[in-house]
Structure 1
Amino acid sequence: MFPNLNHQANRQRGAGLPLAIFIITVLALIVVTITQLQQGTAEMEIQDLQSTRAFYAAESGAQAALALLFPIDGSAGSSCSAPIYQHSFSTPGLNGCRASVSCSTDNLGPTTYYTIISEGVCGSGLDQGRRIVEVRAQ
């Protein structure tokens, strides 16, 4: 006359455990994927920062070489021989970076053109940034 409630409870027993294991597994996979994405993004940001610092080191080296070739006071500048300028930076922002500048000349008639190639390097190993700046001056 009364329904057997124990019979329905026996049939549903244990169904929550596989579902809970499945949910925990899916959530663990999502957490691992997000962690890997975040780590990859952080590595790209470090490489981007090192690359930007290397560009500024190369730019600074090229500017310093131009100042050596064409002094502000109008005196005779340095000769264009490779390497014309090398510098390891210790200033904030470029600390640990270095610039190496080479120079060459092209004479077209009475005009001498200078080609300055400056290479900036920051960091080491996989986190190393390297940029080259080329400047032509007359």
Structure 2
Amino acid sequence: MQRTRQTGSALVIGIFIITVMFVLTAALIRVLGDADDNVNLEVWGTRALLAANSGADAALAQLFPPGGTSATDCAAVSGRWTPPDLPGFSGCQVTLGCSKVTVNFNGETLHQFTLSSNAVCQAGQCSGGTDGDSNCLRVNRMVEVQARVDQP
């Protein structure tokens, strides 16, 4: 009886295929993880934008109170707006700013206000300590609104 010598090429091909499949699986897992991170950033960015819009609305309501008289200077606008205690606003802080320009044009006095609302929403440990950087998600959005008051 004659024995044929086996070269082991099937074993090498099998190891190669297993290695390629492992690399493809690892790449797919990484792509899915990046997609999750992008969705998180999108959600938190939208929260920050909506919080900034709400802050701008609050500043406009302070400057032009419903049923009241319009303010003549930026003192009516507070520096901060506290969002309501709702899940969509959790982790968000809003700061407000106001500047005023007065122009005399053809005998009319125009007051133009520029209101800014800056919202910072964050999740995780953003304190800057040893665990702070790896578990922190912080998003910032700013909205600017201009309003004009015509006074004779």
Using structure 2 for the length normalisation, give the TM-score.
0.77
Q: Which residue of 2 aligns with 1:101?
A: 96
- Deviations, residues 80-138 of structure 1 (Å, cap 9, x unaligned): 14972413432121111111110010111101000001001111545211101000001
Q: Would you say 1:55 and 2:69 are equivalent positions? A: no
Moved over 6 A (4+): none
Q: Greater share of strand residues, 1 or 2?
A: 2
Q: Which residue of 2 aligns with 1:112?
A: 111
Distance 1:94 1:43 in 2: 20
Equivalent of 2:32 in 25, 35, 38: 38
Q: Greater share of helix residues, 1 or 2?
A: 1
- One-letter identity of the residue aligned with 1:112: H
Query: 5+ residue gaps in structure 1?
Result: none
Equivalent of 2:137 in 114, 123, 127: 127
Q: Which residue of 1 aligns with 2:130?
A: none
Q: Which has the larger radius of gyration?
A: 1
Distance 2:74 2:22 in 1: 62
Q: 1:122 to 1:18 in 2, by over 3 A?
A: same
Q: Which residue of 1 aligns with 2:132?
A: none
Pairwise mapping of residues 16-95 of structure 1 onto structure 2 (< 5 A)?
16-77=10-71, 79-81=73-75, 84-89=78-83, 90-95=85-90
Q: Is the 8 A contact 1:100 1:119 kept in 2?
A: yes
Distance 2:101 2:65 in 1: 20
- One-letter identity of the residue aligned with 1:40: D
CA RMSD of aligned residues (A): 2.1
Query: 5+ residue gaps in structure 2?
Result: 127-135
- One-letter identity of the residue aligned with 1:123: Q
Distance 1:129 1:92 in 2: 16
Using structure 1 for the length normalisation, give the TM-score.
0.85
Q: 1:78 to 1:58 in 2, by over 3 A?
A: farther
